[in-house]
Amino acid sequence: MIKQGDKLPAGTLFEYIEVEGNGCSLGPNAFDIAQATAGKTVAIFGVPGAFTPTCSARHAPGYIEQAEAFKAAGVDEIWCVSVNDAFVMGAWARELKADGKVRFMADGSAEFAKATGLTLDLGAKGLGLRSIRYSLLAKDGVVTALNLEEGGAFKVSDAETLLAQAKAQQAA
């Protein structure tokens, strides 16, 4: 399982791009994780699924609402990562009005979740392999803060907790 001080695993995440530009075509685009985090501070929060109750009502909205505060704390980008396809993640981002605030990154085959060791088997509920709920800060691809939820809880991966950690790291 990934831990503080580890480098994010190599791999690819996908994002649905609404408007063609900056080298990105309309529709799903692949992003190399190492390249996308190089030289940046990225706040990443993982959720079990798009459009699910806690994820839609509390987890993602907190990061969208705090996007400017994260930028003020030195965070270059915020990513929401889920084991869903890029089309679903794009639709979810549109519904939550996340454009320009949070990037909704698809881990459709759970490759990132598996590589980090942050998986959750929800096969008995018909949902297959998913990601646990978590949040982390990565500076230049290295994890500097990590908050893992246990048993479906939503206590430590919220925007306020990760924002406090980002502010503390910025002040240090």
Confidence (pLDDT) at 122: 84
Confidence (pLDDT) at 125: 84
Q: Give me the average pLDDT of each 10-residue run along the chain (172 residues).
A: 98 87 74 97 97 94 98 98 96 96 97 96 83 97 97 94 98 90
Confidence (pLDDT) at 78: 98
CA distances 101 to 50, 69, 123, 137, 148, Å, are 17, 11, 32, 16, 23
Confidence (pLDDT) at 148: 98
Confidence (pLDDT) at 20: 63
Of 121, 126, 87, which Cα lies nearest the Cα of 105? 87
Q: Tell me the C-alpha distance between 14 and 27, whole Å.
A: 10
Q: Tell me the C-alpha distance between 136 and 142, whole Å.
A: 10
Confidence (pLDDT) at 58: 94
Catalytic residue numbers? Answer: 55
Q: Tell me the C-alpha distance between 141 and 42, whole Å.
A: 8
Confidence (pLDDT) at 121: 87
